Amino acid sequence: MKKNQIDFITLGCSKNLVDSELLMKQFEANGYKCTHDSKNPNGEIVVINTCGFIGDAKEESVNTILEFADAKERGRIRKLYVMGCLSQRYKSELEKEIPQVDKYYGKFDFKQLLNDLGKAEVPSCNGQRLLTTPHHYAYIKISEGCDRHCAYCAIPLITGRHVSRPKSEILDEVRMLVASGVKEFQIIAQELTYYGIDIDGKQHIADLVSDISDIPGVKWIRLHYAYPTCFPYELLAVMREKPNVCKYLDIALQHISDNMLSAMRRHITKAETYALIERLRKEVPGIHIRTTLMVGFPNESDDDFNELMEFTKWARFERMGAFAYSEEEGTYSAIHYEDNISQSIKQARLDKLMALQQEISTEIAASKVGKVFRVIIDRKEGDYYIGRTEFSSPEVDPEVLIPADVKQLRTGAFYDVRITDSEEFDLYGIVVTH
């Protein structure tokens, strides 16, 4: 057990990661050594940043807490603290069920941990982060919370109303990160397109992205978690015209049948969704769309599911994930609907949908063979350098594997790469020499 070392474990989405990085910077300024997601945590203090979104994520968070509670009982760690979405929502239950944890913090009061350890917040570090990502990319959280209140989603119950960060603060953060060597920025929010509504009633995401793109040193910008209803089409002009704004949009659609969209309280129709996809592809040629779909929502009929399959065949999403409905207490659907689709039907539909997407992904990957793409190198792994095109986000999307024995490449550098082969997800390529 290493004295003055804190091992951070971050679960869930990248928004949680940003919170961990902010807190780690404060601890570092107070003389602690911080590790993140270490395979062998050996510090005297462990901080777990939890996720509370859906059943599987909650289960992972609880199991992680239990694992380290056991480690504490066996004397392997001295102090255990828990923060994030799960403890924001279930603090009293967790305190009762897992009392080995020294203290639980929510989503917004985690800096109190500094005081509880007899340390003080260092003002000069406010807004600074101890990056856990490779040195060349970072996540930028532009807002917190959500006002959408979809029937199935507990996020508004956990994080509260949408709150946009001031634009000047975001731009200062980007400039600071560029100065430290960051080239690629993943812009994240629970609801990206809502940015600015709480400030003056207008959507300002297009202005914000445009201003970020104008900062010298920003090479790639990628957008995560847009919402289809009232989509700000002026953002498409920015994506099309700014060369450092990646032609990539992460936009969760969830379903396509009008029955389901209405029951989910998505405030959009099937026809509007089809029109949105058509417009995205028309106004931003070559755009890669990442989406998330849901099966097994209460009362989802075979016809509803078949509509979703037909939509997926038509849309040919470059990136698509799916999950089965998980009832979340306190949400509209938990209060008003019966979770009446059996687990076996949910799983069968999920398997069928993902098998279809696998075919589509394989075909899209194969279509890239012979073409040249700009690739950023993330790391070296075994016999290959691992990189990404502008159409791939870190950790979740297909990668490009480049043989390491041909040419020495630098992590964080860009190269033109000709794609020579493809698998279901990953691509293989060689660097094109100019």
pTM: 0.90
Beta carbons within 10 angstroms of residue 349's beta carbon? 23
What does the pLDDT look like over 205-240, one tens digit per residue? 999 999 999 999 999 999 999 999 999 999 999 999
What does the pLDDT look like over 85-125, one tens digit per residue? 888 888 888 889 898 999 998 877 777 888 888 887 777 77
Compute the distance between CA of residue 194 and CA of residue 210 in angstroms, rounded to an integer: 16
Tokens standing for residue 43: 């510090």
| Angle made by CA atoms 256, 157, 163, in degrees to the nearest 5 | 90
Beta-strand (E) ranges in 261-371?
Answer: 288-295, 319-324
What does the pLDDT look like over 256-273, one tens digit per residue? 999 999 999 999 999 999
Q: Reply yes or no on whether the pLDDT at 245 is more than 70.
A: yes
Partnered with residue 428 across adjacent β-strands are 401, 421
Compute the distance between CA of residue 318 and CA of residue 425 in angstroms, rounded to an integer: 10
Q: Which of 41-55, 190-204, 394-408 has the lowest mean pLDDT?
A: 41-55
Residues 6+ apart with CB under 8 A from 97: none
| Side-chain half-sphere CA neighbours of 6 within 13 A | 25
Task: Quickly state the pLDDT bin for 74 (edges 50, 70, 90).
Answer: confident
What does the pLDDT look like over 331-387, one tens digit per residue? 999 999 999 999 999 999 999 999 999 999 999 999 999 999 999 999 999 999 999
Task: Quickly state the pLDDT bin for 15 (edges 50, 70, 90).
Answer: confident
Q: Could you tell me whether strands 414-422 and 372-381 are parallel, antiparallel, or unpaired per DSSP bridges?
A: antiparallel
Burial class of residue 338, CB neighbours in 10 A (0-12, 13-18, 19+): exposed
Residues 6+ apart with CB under 8 A from 275: none
Cα 54 to chain centroid distance, Å, stands at 14
Rounded average pLDDT over 138-155? 92
Compute the distance between CA of residue 5 and CA of residue 23 in angstroms, rounded to an integer: 14
Compute the distance between CA of residue 328 and CA of residue 286 in angstroms, rounded to an integer: 37
Q: How many residues does the chain have?
A: 434
Q: Could you tell me whether strands 2-10 and 43-50 are parallel, antiparallel, or unpaired per DSSP bridges?
A: parallel
Rounded average pLDDT over 172-182? 95
Q: Reply yes or no on whether the pLDDT at 57 is more than 70.
A: yes
pLDDT of residue 306: 97
Highest mean predicted confidence (pLDDT) among 64-78, 210-224, 396-410: 210-224
Rounded average pLDDT over 296-320? 97
Are 277 and 288 within 8 A, CB to CB? no
Compute the distance between CA of residue 77 and CA of residue 44 in angstroms, rounded to an integer: 5
Tokens standing for residue 215: 């900062």
pLDDT of residue 256: 98
Tokens standing for residue 244: 């450092």
Mean pLDDT rounded to a whole number for the chain: 92
For 234, phi then psi, to 5°, come to: -65, -20
pLDDT of residue 434: 55
| Side-chain half-sphere CA neighbours of 15 within 13 A | 21
Closest CA to 247 of 144, 373, 128, 134: 373
Q: What domains can be seen in the chain, in order of their start residue?
A: 2-125 (3.40.50.12160), 137-366 (3.80.30.20), 372-431 (2.40.50.140)
Are 107 and 85 within 8 A, CB to CB? yes
pLDDT of residue 121: 77
Compute the distance between CA of residue 119 and CA of residue 122 in angstroms, rounded to an integer: 9
Residues 6+ apart with CB under 8 A from 3: 44
Q: Which of 22-26, 174-178, 183-187 has the lowest mean pLDDT?
A: 22-26
Tokens standing for residue 300: 């989802």
Compute the distance between CA of residue 281 and CA of residue 80 in angstroms, rounded to an integer: 48
